[in-house]
């Protein structure tokens, strides 16, 4: 089945596909970890970047300084996304400081370990709030404003744990699975307004001290991956950058898995 506008739109030049010059991007949970790298890569692509943090103030401010030192533009914004109307205020503050939002990366979240049978309801609620509710309220706040402008891209950072369970991560897997379906639902409802919504699902990604803290996990993941290693934060960031860019202008409602091929392996 084919269809489309009466006039064929000109394709962007290849060199401009990942160019975010003039665009404003908000990355949640960017005070450290993968979020920090996502924000840095978006700034390298030319975006004016809003670096959101909840508790990692020093990390967020150092990133803003780093981006400015490289010739980019960034501002740090503090917000507890579980607080009432915090997401609405955050998006408005970003627009006032940097301009209307063009891209949102929902990266904020956490994954404390807890055995299912010993898990307290409050622990379940906390993980669903930090990983799913926070993304929902940010998506809603940004999505309304993007839809009114007729353009925008939202990227939700999920996990391969949305597709395969792991011990002591039932709450995290449930939250990320919910975020997968929120991505598709939002793509369906926001698409007619010109807003694209996609997800990136990382596998095990390197962080400082990972090999020391969890050597058996690194070994298992590396063995399961056809590429034979864990991922790098830059590899997740580049997937987010692709989905937010013009290179993915006809991509919505899908998930880009960044796991070195682990999910492609045999189940048994």
- 250-263 residue pLDDT tens: 999 999 999 999 99
CA 250, 255, 260, 263 dihedral sign is negative
pLDDT-based confidence at residue 214 (cuts at 50, 70, 90): confident
Provide the whole-model pTM: 0.94
Catalytic-role residue among 172, 199, 201, 259? 172
Spatial distance between the Cα atoms of 15 and 12, rounded to a whole number of angstroms: 8
**53 assigned to active site:** no
Backbone phi and psi for residue 85, each to the nearest 5 degrees, phi listed first: 65, 10
Backbone phi and psi for residue 78, each to the nearest 5 degrees, phi listed first: -95, 135
CA 87, 173, 245, 78 dihedral sign is positive
**pLDDT tens figures, 19-35:** 999 999 999 999 999 99
The per-residue b/e assignment along 203-236, b for 16 or more CB within 10 angstroms, e otherwise, is: bbbbeeeeeeeeeeebeebeebbeeeebbebbbb
pLDDT exceeds cutoff 70 at 4: no
* Max intra-chain CA distance, the chain: 60
pLDDT exceeds cutoff 90 at 7: no
């Amino acid at each position: 089945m084919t269809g489309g506008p009466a006039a064929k739109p000109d394709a962007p030049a290849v060199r401009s596909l990942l160019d975010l010059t003039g665009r404003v991007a908000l990355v949640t949970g960017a005070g450290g970890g993968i979020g920090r790298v996502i924000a840095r890569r978006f700034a390298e692509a030319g975006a004016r970047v809003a670096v959101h943090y909840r508790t990692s103030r020093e990390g967020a401010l150092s990133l803003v300084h780093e981006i400015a030192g490289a010739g980019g533009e960034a501002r740090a914004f503090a917000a507890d996304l579980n607080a009432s109307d915090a997401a609405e205020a955050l998006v408005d503050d970003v627009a006032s400081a940097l301009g209307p939002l063009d891209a949102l990366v929902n990266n904020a979240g956490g994954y404390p370990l807890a055995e299912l049978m010993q898990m307290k309801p409050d622990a379940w609620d906390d993980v669903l709030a930090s990983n799913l509710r926070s993304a929902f309220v940010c998506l809603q706040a940004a999505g309304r404003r993007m839809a009114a402008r007729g353009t925008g891209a939202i990227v939700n950072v999920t996990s391969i744990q949305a597709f395969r369970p792991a011990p002591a991560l039932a709450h995290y897997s449930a939250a990320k699975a919910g975020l997968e379906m929120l991505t598709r639902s939002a793509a369906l409802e926001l698409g007619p307004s010109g807003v694209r919504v996609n997800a990136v699902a990382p596998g095990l990604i390197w962080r400082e001290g990972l090999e020391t803290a969890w050597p058996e996990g690194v070994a298992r993941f590396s063995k399961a991956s056809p590429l034979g290693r864990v991922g790098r934060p830059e590899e997740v960031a580049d997937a987010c950058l692709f989905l937010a860019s013009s290179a993915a202008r006809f991509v919505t409602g899908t998930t880009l898995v960044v796991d070195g091929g682990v999910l492609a392996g045999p189940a048994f």
